[in-house]
Amino acid sequence: MTDQPPDELVALRDRLTAETRITVLTGAGISAASGIPTFRGGQDSLWQNHRPEELATPAAFNRDPELVWRWYDWRRGLIAQAEPNAAHRTLAHLQERCQVQIVTQNVDGLHDRAGSRNVLEFHGSIWRVRCLSCGREETDERVPIPILPRCAQCHGLLRPGVVWFGESIAPEILDASVDAARHCQVFVVIGTSGAVYPAAGLATVARESGARTLEFNLAPSEISSQMDIFVPGSAAETLPWLID
Ligand code: APR
């Protein structure tokens, strides 16, 4: 990475006003500097040699709910220890200057903890659980969580309240996210491989609707070709350039 913001980023930053509508799509890379491993590519992105596609599916849970819960329990433990980093805080500051809507693929809740107000949790929350028998959903912040966790109401098996591969995004979250991509002037992509849809498709919606697009990532992603500006480096170091 460079230690100076690219000129185009400075020019864009200087044109931001209270009326500017910014939609931000975040992925695991924004939380990497908080000590939470990403899913793909990084040295510590694997968990006991399992790929996310092998753990985060309804079929994996049906086959081996204990294994899947142990993976979530490990991640809940890491997240409980983690703090928002400078990138999360930058987005919280940005909302004082512009109209910011965050769409996050992350389930860690760090945007909320950093003080961001408008956050759509596209893939749910790791702190939510849902009963497979009675459908009751609630917040559950136990660390560690008993394995296997049971519903307090009907004793059915609980599952994580997140969206797995092959499952649909909650319609109201999807609609609001597409709307935010369609109606923004600036679309910012931070720390995502752009490999998972429909989230990655939001960049296309924004671009085709006329937004300026910019991306912050350690390395080019699968959607970098759709970006007007690419800022290489760790988001915790580069994103503050948006407000400094
Ligand atoms: N700063 C910026 N970008 C980073 C950093 C960092 N410090 N560290 C890693 N990255 C980038 C990587 O280069 C990569 O492009 O973050 C991205 C992480 O990609 P993934 O691990 O694939 O995470 P994400 O895109 O959020 O995954 C999407 O897949 O497993 C599912 O549901 C899960 O929401 C997740 C979805």
- Torsion angle of the four alpha carbons 141, 144, 103, 22, in this order, in degrees rounded to the nearest 10: 80
Q: What is the pLDDT of residue 45?
A: 59
Pairing relationship of beta strands 124-131 and 158-162 according to DSSP bridges: antiparallel
- Read out DSSP for 78-90? HHHH----HHHHH
pLDDT reported for residue 53: 81
**Pocket around ligand 1: residues whose beta carbon is below 6 Å from it?**
27-29, 32-33, 38-42, 45, 52, 56, 105, 123, 191-193, 195-196, 216-219, 221, 234-235
Note every long-range contact of 73-76, with CB atoms under 8 Å and residues 24 or more positions apart, other chains counting.
Answer: 73/143, 73/144, 73/145, 73/147, 74/47, 75/36, 75/126, 76/126, 76/127, 76/143, 76/144, 76/145
Which of 103, 217, 230, 237 is the pocket-test mutation for ligand 1 (most atoms within 8 Å of CB)?
217
| pLDDT score for 3 | 86
Other C-beta atoms within 10 Å of 144: how many? Answer: 12
CA nearest ligand 1 atom 28, residue: 196
Pick the closest to residue 150 from 170, 130, 120, 123 (CA basis). 130
CB atoms within 10 A of CB 66: 10
Indicate yes or no: pTM above 0.95. yes
pLDDT for 48 equals 59
Q: Consecutive sets of 10 residues in the chain, 244 residues long: mean pLDDT of each? A: 88 97 98 92 63 89 96 95 98 98 98 98 98 98 98 97 97 98 98 97 98 98 98 98 94
Position 76 scores a pLDDT of 96
Whether cis (ω within 30° of 0) applies to the bond prior to 132 is no
Cα dihedral across residues 157, 160, 165, 169: positive or negative:
positive
What is the atom index within ligand 1 of the atom nearest the CA of 53?
A: 30
Q: How far apart are CA 228 and CA 207, in angstroms?
A: 9
CA 202 – ligand 1 centroid, Å: 16
Q: What is the DSSP letter of 150?
A: B
Tell me which residue has tokens 């170091």: 237
Q: Cβ distance 214 to 191 under 8 Å?
A: no
Q: How far is the CA of 62 from the centre of ligand 1 (A)?
A: 26
Phi, psi of 194 (to 5 degrees): 65, 25
Given this model, what pLDDT does residue 79 score?
97
